[in-house]
A and B are shown apart, each in its own frame.
Chain A
């Protein structure tokens, strides 16, 4: 087959994939996600686990070691079949924390530590290089197979140049696919659909070759079994250590590989999908493995001695003259390689940009979170990272010579990424796992892996000198890279796996036991380990959010893009019931925003950026204490508010009462005005009338005397009224002159009773007194006090409506104050009137208009106020009852 056609079909295939991806992206952009996110697409996208290693390498592996190749698929099968144990938790956490990569997950779990993010990123990038080299090698080899087919037509002059073309093409393709946009949740619908299509292509290709081999070449299953028994790999040489170790490491790798994590958790992690994949993905792996042994057996049987077993997938159909089948197999292998490289480099580029480039850039330009175009920087750094990752892969390919068996290269990568497993499991199930423990474990595992497996893989004398291989590092025997601690004779891969995992786990656990996690770390630990207990519990609140919403918007725009950011903010503003685009920066909103940004730039970076705007670099214990302090202050403040509210309620009640009183008084005032005019007019009218009669003369002398007496009486009445008014106004102004002196209370009451007996002298009052208690001296203005007593006793005489009226006078002394109660046995004063009896001109009835203009009690009140005491009505005493209270010793007022 001409090379041009081969290249052309590759390009056409890539163009087709690109079209698929493009249509999917457009469909997703229009919001019609639908089947783009279905369990089937999810399962197919998981198939990037099967790379060129599976497609080409597995046959070679089977041809070399028999059934051992199957361990690479048994491990993932166990992990997926047991999804309820681990993967489910990973998926839920990934969704809740908006995890963007495995480095992000680890960093997020251990307090959004950027150091851990860098360590995991570094580990992943280094471990991925052999894996990417494997893909380049397989594609180059497969080109080589077709080249050697036509000896003179076109030969590949230089395999390295093929590899470089392949690497460049893949980088371009990945950049076009994976970094076109910066999505809020790092999802690439186009890429996922493209790799789903590739999954179908490689499965169909492998099955087609397998069916051709079993039924076309071997002549049916029964025949095949005989051929297997007769073949070179009939006796399977099972090494128990390798068998168990490889199942373990492949199970670990399927969780920890950056690209598996990308499709499994980041792209479309959902429990529903995971449930389907739990059996569908193992089934896919089974189908992929089903024909490996037959193809290997037939290849060993048919192909000439010394041909590369890794290429049996191509060489077998070609040698049988099945050009079309070979072409299909080639496309299958090409699919396997390209899909792996694309997703792996997208995942690695995300990690590099989020955990290495962005933090450095933010540190160099602290203001950049606000001013620079972060989107541009992120995308640029991802593109450069993709190129960098592929360059590293190419360099590994060149350095390792491109001749090793594919499976051997792949296993080096597997053991490398498996170093993340102890920290991952510890982080998910052990709250005591700390950041420093994780760093210690990862660094130890990484170092041991690099020293015992990765560096030796370049061959003796390349990365490590021959002397180191034979005598150990610095001549120390027990530090030989393939015989650590003097353990010799172990399979090198198993040796590296064993020591790296053991030392990794020990370092992780020990350091965790002896260190103390920071506050954020502890909160994140609880959020991860107890993810099912409280799904909504956020890692930490931005309780002290002093963020300017506008600053947040500006920053979000830089990362999510203008429209997306505005939409997010507008939605939040609507939710808060505000117009426009600027919601309040509530802690909830800021926390949600952080998670959203974390979906684009990683948890640590998002945290750092938000921190810069909110004005808080990290959360320290002091911060937490300040928050607690603030809470206490808020509680105090609210208690204060509460008391203020009560006071206000009280004041309002008082005001209401005052208002009622005022209204009542206003009514009374109107009534009084007419009354006072009446009061003044009645005597005036009599005086005028009688004085007119007197001026006319011609009156008998007794009449004159009588009229004169009437005029005199009326004038006295007028004078008394005016005196009262005058008295009251003097008392009210407080300008009264008090005549202080010692007086015996008993004598005062005697005087008052004697004076008051002139009022309605016809009524017989029974007076109840307790003379001994009255016998005390008070320092006060005796005349004024007697005036009050007279008033009260006269009132009782006037208004008590009992048939046998009684008056009880009680004196009590308590704490320097004396109270005198006057209680009669009448019907008392109705409740609605009790509030106004002390007001001026208040008169309850007109039935006994015995002098006075309703000023008596008002005067009493003013007198008592001047004497430093009070007078009040005592309700519920079985009649009208007044209590006069006055100080035992009245000092001269300062005023």
Chain B
């Protein structure tokens, strides 16, 4: 039994939806990289007082992630069967 062939090109709506999901998959990776960044500039013992600035940086990244996730969430939760199908 052959599975129905997936369309090669999608309509604009479903294309957007898929890219939205791609974005949702990339977001945690981006977040992880941003959160691990302090390792690069705060190696162990430094004389500089960096708790305050690094704290601001981390919370800024955090808020950024929350905002982007909030923007993506409605589109992701909407799982109505999209207008999949070939571009014509």
Name A residues whose Cβ lies closer than 8 Å to a Cβ of B: 66-67, 70, 74, 77-85, 225, 228-229, 231, 233-240, 243-244, 247, 271-272, 274-276, 278-280, 282-283, 286, 289-290, 293
Contacts and interface: CB of A to CB of B under 8 A. Distances in A.
Interface in B28-71: 28-29, 31-32, 35-36, 38-39, 42-52, 54-55, 58-59, 62-63, 65-70
B28 A278 contact: no
B36 A286 contact: no
B79 interface: yes
Chain B: interface secondary structure?
helix
B69 A279 contact: yes
Contacts of B31: 77-78, 81-82
B21 interface: yes
A239 B44 contact: yes
A235 B52 contact: no
Contacts of A274: 77
Contact of A235 (B36, B50, B77): B50
B10 interface: no
Interface centre among A237, A272, A278, A293 (most CB of B within 10 A): A278
Nearest to A274: B77
A244 B36 contact: yes
Contact of A84 (B25, B48, B51): B25
28 contacts: A66-B51, A67-B54, A70-B55, A74-B35, A77-B65, A77-B66, A78-B31, A82-B24, A84-B21, A228-B51, A229-B51, A234-B49, A235-B46, A235-B47, A235-B48, A235-B49, A237-B45, A238-B44, A244-B39, A271-B77, A278-B72, A278-B73, A279-B66, A279-B69, A286-B62, A286-B66, A293-B51, A293-B55
Contacts of A280: 70
Given A74-B35, A84-B76, A282 B50 contact: no
A238 B35 contact: no
Contacts of B39: 238, 240, 243-244
A244 B38 CA distance: 10
B36 to A, nearest CB: 6
Nearest to B58: A70
Contacts of A77: 31, 62, 65-66
Contacts of A272: 77
Interface of B: 21, 24-25, 27-29, 31-32, 35-36, 38-39, 42-52, 54-55, 58-59, 62-63, 65-70, 72-74, 76-77, 79
A70 B46 CA distance: 20
A233 to B, nearest CB: 6
Contact of B32 (A70, A247, A271): A247
Chain A: interface secondary structure?
helix
Contacts of B29: 82
Nearest to B22: A84
Contact of B66 (A276, A282, A293): A282
Contacts of B38: 238, 243
B35 A81 contact: no
B28 A82 contact: yes
Closest 6 CB pairs of A and B: A82-B28, A275-B77, A279-B69, A234-B49, A84-B24, A279-B70
Nearest to A224: B52
Contacts, number: 119
A286 B76 contact: no
B27 A82 contact: yes
A81 B28 contact: yes
A243 B49 contact: no
B84 to A, nearest CB: 14
B39 to A, nearest CB: 4
A229 B25 contact: no
Contacts of B62: 74, 77, 282, 286
Contacts of A234: 49-52
A279 B64 CA distance: 10
B34 to A, nearest CB: 10
A79 B32 CA distance: 10
A395 B77 CA distance: 45
Contacts of A243: 36, 38-39
Given A82-B29, A225-B52, A235-B50, 14 more contacts: A66-B51, A82-B25, A82-B31, A84-B21, A228-B52, A229-B52, A235-B47, A239-B44, A247-B32, A275-B74, A275-B77, A278-B73, A286-B59, A286-B63
Contacts of B45: 235, 237
B65 A81 contact: yes
A77 B32 CA distance: 10
B79 A271 contact: yes
A80 B72 CA distance: 12
Contacts of B48: 235
Nearest to B23: A84
B63 A78 contact: no
Nearest to A71: B35
Contacts of B46: 235
A742 B38 CA distance: 121
Contacts of A83: 24
Contact of B35 (A233, A247, A271, A275): A247
B55 A278 contact: no
Nearest to B49: A234
Interface centre among B39, B54, B66 (most CB of A within 10 A): B66
B44 A237 contact: yes
A54 to B, nearest CB: 15
Contacts of B55: 67, 70, 228, 293
Contacts of B35: 74, 78, 247
A16 B82 CA distance: 46
A692 to B, nearest CB: 95
Contacts of A231: 51
B49 A229 contact: yes
A74 B62 CA distance: 8
A487 B30 CA distance: 32
Contacts of B72: 278
B42 A238 contact: yes
Interface centre among A66, A81, A272, A275 (most CB of B within 10 A): A81
A279 B47 contact: no
A85 B28 contact: yes
A79 B66 contact: no
Given A243-B38, A247-B35, A286-B59, A236 B66 contact: no
